[in-house]
Structure 1
């Protein structure tokens, strides 16, 4: 995709992406602006690794899906998700265990609004969305069936949660972005992204890829597959969808798990394929993720224009 200067008209792929994204925009971006104030680069700005990663929304969504799936391996995250997530139907406040499509759409839309707002919005928006998320965390607490109390605002849990997100975003970016950051560029992403973890309440979040992986690997003895993870917390499970859609969702679900470290794949019993089979599936998924080429949604274009800068090709 050619560089976009301020005032350039969006291309066909941009307009198609905007049309696909419009329902999310209308419902969840009402109070998250990107076009002003002029000259405000936000927390990261043009030239940052964070902007390069987050400008490619499909890879970001896959990365967040991978992180969310990994989070279900943490017993506290799994039970907290089951008891509080919008993705599970509730009757009189009690989870029924059935999947709530509208609730899942709401959860996904709000997540995208947060991650784009905090990374590419102006500074005031970044601070606003972080305050909103922290306020939500303050209201979430409970007790697991084994008697273990939890609260979403626990700094240790937030640090682990940050590590899954940083890992997932970087892994999906490396796998699916047409021009991914590598080496020092990718390390710069981890260094920059730690600011988001700190803003949400993480304590001394790791600022290197090695540090993130070490934190996750150190947590393995405490992880496991619980009933919420198996039954309720995987919205990509093919069986949730009509028969004609299942082949696509089976590919997406496998591709998300394929990003995971070996220990996570073992816990999840990720399907194994021959090297040729894995290569074919990875190529098919990359083609699917990049079907619209270097398209950028309106909010990403507005961020570049607001910062009065011209982006490198996505």
Structure 2
């Protein structure tokens, strides 16, 4: 069983944060890889360039289960994985994203999943959603010092993306300013609304369920949908075409607080639930939840890890390959190569 300590392999080191970090405190709570993750991937779709890339690949429609599993695994790796494993994953993700290029249909402008602005939007939406759902459905607000550290750690994690770390807000006010800046740039297009609604049906991401337990799965999916919408501001709901009354917003909060508090008391139950949600994520999170120390109890900075393992900064990675992908799509009018996606399978999980 995934929860048995003897079957769990320790990480090589503490990666980039470690047990004293605020990131471990927040991201290890059950809200993070459930409603927090769902909120992040739903809200992201309001970016026209991002949703164009998602819609073009069709991954969340054709293979929602594996797409969910791989993305959740990567989210967890950033915070919990060892330095070598995470640095390698960040490098291969650039090659995976090289496939996400094309023409955004609303503006007619080219989009690129490796674009720094797109990566900044994805990164901040994720870290904000994880913290917001922790506060709303978990233990509550962090102390001022903890929150300052959380956003500082968010900036460290941003070094695994192609965005500029200098653009990462360092406090709640800065995050609000960023979302206000983005608000007029977001679009609730038909594609965005359809994609968001699809992602709000959590049951499509789950493995097949025996008929006897299917009603329970549907109920859980419905609760997650209500909880996710309850975290979205009114303007975002209107843009997304999502309707939900204030009464549901209020009622779902105590329900989710209790639901998330129960597995928090039992690490093995939490792991069992995670195995159901995302099997590929279990090896990343299990050593942390079970308190299994790494081979070397040390942390690195992303720069130290890149130098140690021989990887360039993500913004400078695979430039020749990315240029070939651009030429193939924008000049040759062909589909981009799947080579990066296939190469990522040993690191991020199967795409089958």
| TM-score grouping bracket, smaller chain normalisation | 0.7 to 0.9
Name structure 1 gaps, 5 residues minimum.
1-14, 20-32, 90-102, 310-314
Distance 2:250 2:266 in 1: 25
CA separation of 1:74 and 1:66: change in aligned 2, threshold 3 A? same
CA shift, 1:121, in A, is 1.4
Matching residue of 2:239? 267
1:115 pairs with one of 51, 65, 75: 75
Deviations 1:148-175 (A, max 9, x none): 2100011111112211111111111112
Shift of 1:49: 0.6
Corresponding residue for residue 252 of structure 1: 224
Alignment of 1:74-223 (within 5 A): 74-89=47-62, 103-146=63-106, 147-178=108-139, 181-203=142-164, 204=166, 205-223=168-186
2:200 equivalent among 211, 236, 244: 236
Q: Assess, with a 3 A threshold, how the Cα gap between structure 1 residues 189 and 273 changes in structure 2: closer, same or farther.
A: same
1-structure distance, mates of 2:113, 2:199: 21
Match of 1:26 in 2: none
| Residue 226 of structure 1 pairs with residue 189 of structure 2 | yes
Aligned residue number for residue 292 of structure 1: 263
Distance 2:77 2:238 in 1: 35
Q: Does the aligned pair in 1 maintain the 2:119–2:162 contact within 8 Å? A: yes
- Offset at 1:207? 2.5
CA RMSD of aligned residues (A): 2.9
Equivalent pairs, count: 266
Determine helix, strand or coil for the equivalent of 1:153.
Answer: coil
Please say if 1:282 is aligned against 2:245: no
> 2, 11, 16: which one pairs with 1:36?
11
- Distance change >3 Å, CA 173–CA 18, structure 1 → 2: same
Q: How far off is 1:58 after superposition? A: 4.1
* TM-score for the superposition, normalised by structure 2: 0.67
Q: 2:32 aligns with which of 51, 56, 59?
A: 59
Provide the rounded CA distance (Å) in 2 between the counterparts of 1:177 and 1:87. Answer: 28
Summarize deviations over 1:221-263 as a string: whole Å, max 9, x none: 1112112222234232389799945554333212112112343
Q: CA deviation at 1:124?
A: 0.9
Deviates more, 1:58-67 or 1:299-308: 299-308
Looking at secondary structure, tell me which structure has more helix per residue: 2
- Structure 1 stretch displaced more, 236-245 or 297-306: 236-245
